[in-house]
Amino acid sequence: MSNGHTPYHQVFFIGTREKKHFFGGDVVPQPSQIVRRFVAKYDFDGKKTAQLRQEYAHRGAAEDWIFLFFHDGKKPMARVKEENHRFQIFN
């Protein structure tokens, strides 16, 4: 349970040891929310949600997760890469 966007918000890890998909729900609904760092006023705990986005992006980049972005019609699935403390989105 992440508790960021709403008090009982949950995220899901789907997959095997070789391939892991991450569904961050409304904590990470779009790739742009990983690249841009911001605190959203519509979140239950905006600071925690912003922190969680960075933690998930960092871990996902290190472990080669496939992120599922359900609010993005152009890029619903992508990976994250971290270079020089900045995140990039790629397929």
Higher pLDDT, 35 or 17: 35
Rg (CA), the chain: 12
pLDDT at 1 over 70: no
Distance from the Cα of residue 62 to its chain's centroid: 13
Dihedrals phi, psi of 78, to nearest 5 degrees? -165, 165
> With contact defined as beta carbons under 8 Å apart, do 57 and 19 qualify?
no
pLDDT tens-digit series, residues 28-60: 999 999 998 888 888 888 899 999 999 999 999
Whether the pTM exceeds 0.75: the reply is: yes
